[in-house]
Structure 1
Amino acid sequence: MTNPATTEPVLDPVSLEVLRSRLQATAEDGATTIERTAISPVISESRDYSCTLLEANGDLILAGGALTHHFGVCGQAVRATIKAYGDSLVPGDMFFANDPHNGGGLHAQDVLIQLPVFVDDRLIAWVVNSGHMLDMGGMVFGSWSPDAVDCFQEALRLPPVHLFRGGEEQSAVWKIILNNVRVPDIVEMDLRSLVAGCEVAKDKLVETARSMGVERFLSGLHGLRSLAEREMRRRISGLTDGVYRYTSWVEWHGELFEVPCALTVAADELVFDFTGAPPQTDHYFNSKPHIIEAIVVGDCTDVLAFDLPLAEGMFAPITVVCPPGTVVNSAPPAPVASAHIDVAINATTAAQQCVMLAIAASEANEASGLLCGPLAVSSMALNTWSYETQAGTPDGWMMMDGSLAGNSAGFDRDGTDFWTFMIARKPILEAIDVEMLESWYPVLVDFKKMRSGPFGAGRYRAGAGCHMRFRAHGAAQLTGALLAIREDFPLSGTAGGLPGATSEFVLHPAEGPSVPLAGKSTGVVLGPDDSLEFCLGSGGGHGDPLTRDPAAVARDVRHGRLGPAEAADVYGVVLVDGRPDDDATRARRADERRQRLAAAVPARRPVPADTRGTGPTGRIYPGVDQHGELAVASASGAVLAVAPQPWTDGCPTLERPLTPGLVERSYLDPVTGDLLLVEVAPEGHPCTIESRPRRWIEASPTPG
């Protein structure tokens, strides 16, 4: 990959910005049309839709709507449609696709409606609208079943097919789709909302192209793409060259699937390599390269270019490696109903944390103030429910409140409640109002509140996820599918912050004891007066909890986040009449640090304390600095490692079991006893992070 051509675009900068603004307004108008005309709350209330504008070859121009993850998959769909229909495209054509294995987007429910845009019989662009359909057939309502073992069981899947041909509605295709879904009236109206949004955006694109002249319009698109690439490369070049690694895991009823990511930063390019991912499986979370790339690039540019609209130029300097035949690059008949969630979200979490490691090791730049912990999207616990109406027909909904996890802490701020991204260009999903939910569906909500507990503790703590309980009301029974991700394996903290919370489901029968439910379950039944309670997970904290401001801990107790005992046990803060006792707190925290060091296992590879380094300096990890060939703890100056060894090798460690096979491992400053890193990993697994800036590798006193 080389730098883009340096020729200047025909349009001047002011004209380019005017064009960009018109295009953004066009995409947002298309998106707003979808929201106003769809009838299912998953689109009209939770905003699970998008309107994406693309060049004639499928390159992303920009998009409107809430779901950035939708934007990047549309190019692959358009290119599949072009490959299938080539020169036969004519004005008035419109295509449907929903198969991730063959021209579709994120999963079968996120259908793509594709409209080629013509001016005087010349193809100038595409509008691709996506929205989550309430049902697309398959073995369970909602088409999202953890029990599916191949893609044939999951949903009706169509490659690119004409929905309209030359302006004529293809009634046979509509009938095939609607004949295979459980709620055809709702699905039809939501599909027509996507069609309407396409038409609105198309008309505005044509108007813009005609007013500018087609050649100037196309030149402007080229100019915007080139500028986006140039700026993206500039921002990447502010990162320190090196290799940064982070490993995450996907759970499946006690089985773990490793998702390792290695980021190589070289000049103005990034390579995210998922080599080492396990083979594809018969579980529903297999993914595809176009999905991994779309989500990884979307989330990582949220950090590096959060102030810019996502565009094709941002993809150019970024390579995503997904080995064939693995869970990140599966082939039929692999089930893919959750292709954008479990594996994909863990992949992007690992990728984004690799970027955070690179930012932490770099000189101050635009992204330095955005350091934060892992994305909490992987702490969601979505659930879908179906029932029989009084007319004897099926109906149902997706409980979008199951997406409201609490995000990880930042390096200088607490995480946000009911939110999964510390950094994002715009909101991702919104929950349905309780009153709206109860008016649409046979359900009563007992409570919906912030989850309490000491999870994600740190100098800055994680946000809290949703804690909710509801019951059937007005239907004989509700039948549900549970789709939790983090049941036992919480997200790790950063810089000594503690791991976050895991997701939990509990069934409360009308009679008898409460029953914990597996996070991936189907056929869950709520009868009269039965209720379901769920608690969502969260991201991790940042910094040692013993360094949190005692006044902030006291405030959390007043707000019901913590109890006084948790304030003392986790944060070392002693409260008297709700106020911190400064002397008692200092004494308790000092004693806790001494106990850590006394209980810790000695460092794997200790370095003599009098070792001195000479050469380049810089940051390796928050709280760990480079002094020549030495890695030292920032606070104490304790020597941790000699280049190129990992700095964690010089830390005393503490381990405590979480669940069978999982441990929480803490790496300590050998002088102060402060926590430098706390991670969750399978028992016996090496450290889950590695930061190797090039200056650290090259500082090695012995080659290699």
Structure 2
Amino acid sequence: MTKQDTFTHDPVTFDIIQNGIQAVADEMFVAQVKTSMSAIIYEVLDLSTSILDAKGEIAASGAGIPAFIGVLDKAIHGILQKFPLDDIRPGDLFATNDPYYGGVSHLNDMVLASPVFSEGRLVAWVANIAHWNDVGGMVPGSMSSDATEIFQEGVRIPAVKLFDRGEENKAVFDILYVNTRLPDYLRGDLWAGIAGLRIGERRVLEIIEKYGTDIFEAAIADFMDFGETRARAALKTLPEGTYSFEEEQDSGQIHKVEITISKDEFLVDLTDNPAQAGSSNSSREGTEIAVQLAFKSFTDPDAPGNGGFFRPLTVKTTPGTIFHVQEPGALGYYSEVEIRLFDMLLRALAHHFPGVVPAGNFASICGTVVGGPHPDTGRHYTIVEPQVGGWGAWQGNDGPSGQFSGFHGETFNCPAEVAEARYGLTVDQVALNPELGGEGQWRGGKGIDVHYRVRADNNFLSVGYTRSRIPPWGVNGGRDGSCNYVEVLRTDGSSERHAFATNVEVNTDDVIRVVTGNGGGFGDPAKRSAEDLARDIRDEYLTPERAREVYGHQG
């Protein structure tokens, strides 16, 4: 009897392999973090890694941004559409950042992917994605709210081979290096991504060597089926029906969704939505990711988020709308479209299924780009930061403070010490947001109030914040939270407030004040306990005077 016969359909062996590929995805993640040049990767962890099956379905994922995990299967699908199977060989390594060629998000996010071969056949893929600080385009940082087409946003890499059968395609590397204002950082981040893929391929082949190709493939297929089983079991617990919802956005536009739940399908219809415009658009694939995240959060958060889990999910869109941009539409601020959709879906489900979802959260990436000549070296720098904010309260619990949105996931803010050491800024203040908003029997979590002082002239600021006009919603009598915005405090005493802005000039000793929203409250503020109010005052979330004003007693 062969080793393969012994282990065929052995659930213990399958479980070992399934956990093994998860460990591989995590090791890929750590390798890329440890070797990257840019703080947005090695501090913020703005990246993701995955092991995928031969067809490009996600089998296992590393840590990082949930919205990135869902990119990688769609990127492999794009590669497979462009390259016939007989043109994909051992030693190949593909790159794509173009949303119209499998890149999914925007040009700053580079996907790298390698096929894994065993016994002469394609059996898996290893892939990663990371945000690069600058890939050219009309503005430093490559994200402009003024862009109207993708040609203005940077260099487009349309699913091409960086390595062909192990041989470096130097022309593509040269194109990448010359189309950035930060060539050293791009080079370092690129090779960190390549290193992550190489270690991932090596580890997958070690698993295959131990258990055999057929058993490896069977274990992956079994894991996909398990994901589907969990999703369908969760669907059967939900009441069938059609649930509609619409929500006004900061721009005044109305976003609409219709959700139809049956025992076999979870259908999300987004066909009736505004036309694409500017740089706030999402690819069709990006829209699917936002829906996938909401679907999993609502149905079975603990199930494996592999390709099988999403088989019962169907998404409908209309080409030419913000949720299904058509070429050459711009996508620089795609993230704000997708996070607004993710947030709206959760709110729609909260509306129709009370008690399942907390009050609203600050729900924005709050992308903040600052750069210019470094005051010490004169060399160009660019800092790209997402921001943390307040989450909504729910019955029995205050909302968490200073967290990334659920869309942005397992990531971190850049420490003040790193920002000051690596970039031309001084961090004057890192504090929680003292503004009113989110009061309730259980209060919303606090956003942040961070001050960056500029140290040189001719610097720039670009931002893309939503929930800047309409705050996170309160529940059961809890007050709405507060809004996200950036305020520039000038040395002459003047100030201006921004939500979306590109290349705002900032000079020596101007202060960039980043303010993110407090989450919505839950329950009547008058019912907040004296003990909780006393803790709020002690922790400086609240002054005694504000407690009397808002809650009616001091605590």
Q: TM-score scaled by structure 1? A: 0.75
Task: Give the 3-state SS of the residue equivalent to 1:497 in structure 2.
Answer: coil
Matched, 1:280 2:280: no
User: Could you tell me how far apart the structure 2 residues matched to 1:554 and 1:27 are?
Assistant: 45
Letter in 2 for 1:313: G
> Which residue pairs with 2:440 in the alignment?
458
Q: Map Cα deviations across residues 17-48 of structure 1 (whole Å, 9 max, x no partner).
A: 21111011000000111001101100001000
> Which residue pairs with 2:503 in the alignment?
523
Letter in 2 for 1:31: F
Query: Displacement, 1:561?
Result: 1.8
> Which residue pairs with 2:3 in the alignment?
none
> Which residue pairs with 1:269 in the alignment?
265
Question: In the alignment, which of 504, 513, 517 is matched to residue 485 of structure 2?
Answer: 504
Task: Give the 3-state SS of the residue equivalent to 1:224 in structure 2.
Answer: helix
CA contact (8 A) 2:333 2:464 kept: no
Matched, 1:417 2:401: yes
User: Could you tell me how far apart the structure 1 residues matched to 2:483 and 2:131 are?
Assistant: 26
Query: Displacement, 1:376?
Result: 3.2
Q: Map Cα deviations across residues 293-349 of structure 1 (whole Å, 9 max, x no partner).
A: 11221243134322233111111111122222111011012111111x221111111
Task: Give the 3-state SS of the residue equivalent to 2:94 in structure 1.
Answer: strand
Matched, 1:164 2:157: no
> Which residue pairs with 2:420 in the alignment?
438
Residues 37-46 or 292-301, more deviating? 292-301
Task: Give the 3-state SS of the residue equivalent to 1:271 in structure 2.
Answer: strand
Question: In the alignment, which of 350, 355, 375 is matched to residue 356 of structure 1?
Answer: 350
Q: TM-score scaled by structure 2? A: 0.94
Task: Give the 3-state SS of the residue equivalent to 1:72 in structure 2.
Answer: helix
* Matched residue count: 547
> Which residue pairs with 1:513 in the alignment?
493
> Which residue pairs with 2:533 in the alignment?
553
User: Could you tell me how far apart the structure 1 residues matched to 2:275 and 2:258 are?
Assistant: 18
The 1:185/1:311 distance shift into structure 2, 3 A limit, reads same
> Which residue pairs with 1:43 in the alignment?
41
User: Could you tell me how far apart the structure 2 residues matched to 1:427 and 1:67 are?
Assistant: 5
User: Could you tell me how far apart the structure 1 residues matched to 2:518 and 2:102 are?
Assistant: 34
Task: Give the 3-state SS of the residue equivalent to 2:363 in structure 1.
Answer: helix
Matched, 1:312 2:287: no
Query: Displacement, 1:65?
Result: 2.2
Letter in 2 for 1:232: A
Letter in 2 for 1:414: D
Matched, 1:294 2:289: yes
The 1:168/1:462 distance shift into structure 2, 3 A limit, reads same
Q: Map Cα deviations across residues 163-222 of structure 1 (whole Å, 9 max, x no partner).
A: 000000100000011111110110011011111101111111111122111111111111
CA contact (8 A) 2:361 2:390 kept: no
User: Could you tell me how far apart the structure 2 residues matched to 1:332 and 1:564 are?
Assistant: 56
The 1:375/1:502 distance shift into structure 2, 3 A limit, reads closer
User: Could you tell me how far apart the structure 1 residues matched to 2:227 and 2:487 are?
Assistant: 48
Q: Which runs of 5+ in 2 are unaligned?
A: 1-6
> Which residue pairs with 2:138 in the alignment?
139
CA contact (8 A) 1:249 1:346 kept: no
Q: Map Cα deviations across residues 2-31 of structure 1 (whole Å, 9 max, x no partner).
A: xxxxxxx95233222211110110000001
User: Could you tell me how far apart the structure 1 residues matched to 2:102 and 2:143 are?
Assistant: 19
> Which residue pairs with 1:33 in the alignment?
31
> Which residue pairs with 1:194 in the alignment?
193
CA contact (8 A) 1:371 1:411 kept: no
The 1:81/1:481 distance shift into structure 2, 3 A limit, reads same
Question: In the alignment, which of 312, 320, 326 is matched to residue 325 of structure 1?
Answer: 320
Query: Displacement, 1:64?
Result: 0.3
> Which residue pairs with 1:58 in the alignment?
56
Q: Map Cα deviations across residues 428-487 of structure 1 (whole Å, 9 max, x no partner).
A: 3201111111111121111101111331122221111111111123x3442111222122
User: Could you tell me how far apart the structure 2 residues matched to 1:74 and 1:431 are?
Assistant: 24
Letter in 1 for 2:472: L
The 1:248/1:202 distance shift into structure 2, 3 A limit, reads farther
User: Could you tell me how far apart the structure 2 residues matched to 1:348 and 1:507 are?
Assistant: 30
Greater Rg over alpha carbons, structure: 1
Question: In the alignment, which of 358, 365, 372 is matched to residue 372 of structure 1?
Answer: 358
CA contact (8 A) 1:296 1:352 kept: no
Query: Displacement, 1:508?
Result: 1.7
CA contact (8 A) 1:298 1:310 kept: no
User: Could you tell me how far apart the structure 1 residues matched to 2:528 and 2:268 are?
Assistant: 34
> Which residue pairs with 2:254 in the alignment?
258
Task: Give the 3-state SS of the residue equivalent to 1:73 in structure 2.
Answer: helix
Matched, 1:388 2:373: yes
CA contact (8 A) 1:134 1:397 kept: yes
The 1:44/1:50 distance shift into structure 2, 3 A limit, reads same
CA contact (8 A) 1:465 1:536 kept: yes
The 1:346/1:556 distance shift into structure 2, 3 A limit, reads same
The 1:560/1:235 distance shift into structure 2, 3 A limit, reads same
Question: In the alignment, which of 388, 391, 416 is matched to residue 407 of structure 1?
Answer: 391
CA contact (8 A) 2:293 2:342 kept: no
Residues 272-281 or 162-171, more deviating? 272-281
Matched, 1:574 2:553: yes
Q: Which runs of 5+ in 1 are unaligned?
A: 1-8, 361-367, 580-704
> Which residue pairs with 1:11 in the alignment?
9
Q: Map Cα deviations across residues 108-131 of structure 1 (whole Å, 9 max, x no partner).
A: 111100111111321001111100
CA contact (8 A) 1:248 1:349 kept: no
Query: Displacement, 1:567?
Result: 2.5
Task: Give the 3-state SS of the residue equivalent to 2:518 in structure 1.
Answer: coil
Task: Give the 3-state SS of the residue equivalent to 2:289 in structure 1.
Answer: helix
Question: In the alignment, which of 330, 339, 343 is matched to residue 345 of structure 1?
Answer: 339
CA contact (8 A) 2:280 2:337 kept: yes
CA contact (8 A) 2:361 2:520 kept: no
Task: Give the 3-state SS of the residue equivalent to 1:541 in structure 2.
Answer: coil
Identity, % of aligned positions: 28
Report 1 or 2 for greater relative contact order, CA contacts < 8 Å, sequence distance ≥ 6.
2
Q: How does 1:533-548 map to 2 (within 5 A)?
A: 533-548=513-528
Query: Displacement, 1:269?
Result: 2.5
Task: Give the 3-state SS of the residue equivalent to 2:52 in structure 1.
Answer: strand
CA contact (8 A) 1:91 1:117 kept: yes
Task: Give the 3-state SS of the residue equivalent to 1:566 in structure 2.
Answer: helix
Query: Displacement, 1:565?
Result: 4.1
User: Could you tell me how far apart the structure 2 residues matched to 1:202 and 1:391 are?
Assistant: 40
Letter in 1 for 2:371: S
Query: Displacement, 1:391?
Result: 5.5
User: Could you tell me how far apart the structure 2 residues matched to 1:267 and 1:376 are?
Assistant: 33
User: Could you tell me how far apart the structure 1 residues matched to 2:162 and 2:80 are?
Assistant: 15
Letter in 2 for 1:557: I
The 1:289/1:201 distance shift into structure 2, 3 A limit, reads same
Query: Displacement, 1:288?
Result: 1.4
Residues 10-19 or 327-336, more deviating? 10-19
User: Could you tell me how far apart the structure 2 residues matched to 1:241 and 1:496 are?
Assistant: 29
Letter in 1 for 2:539: H
Task: Give the 3-state SS of the residue equivalent to 2:252 in structure 1.
Answer: strand
Letter in 2 for 1:352: L
Query: Displacement, 1:410?
Result: 2.0
Q: How does 1:686-697 map to 2 (within 5 A)?
A: none
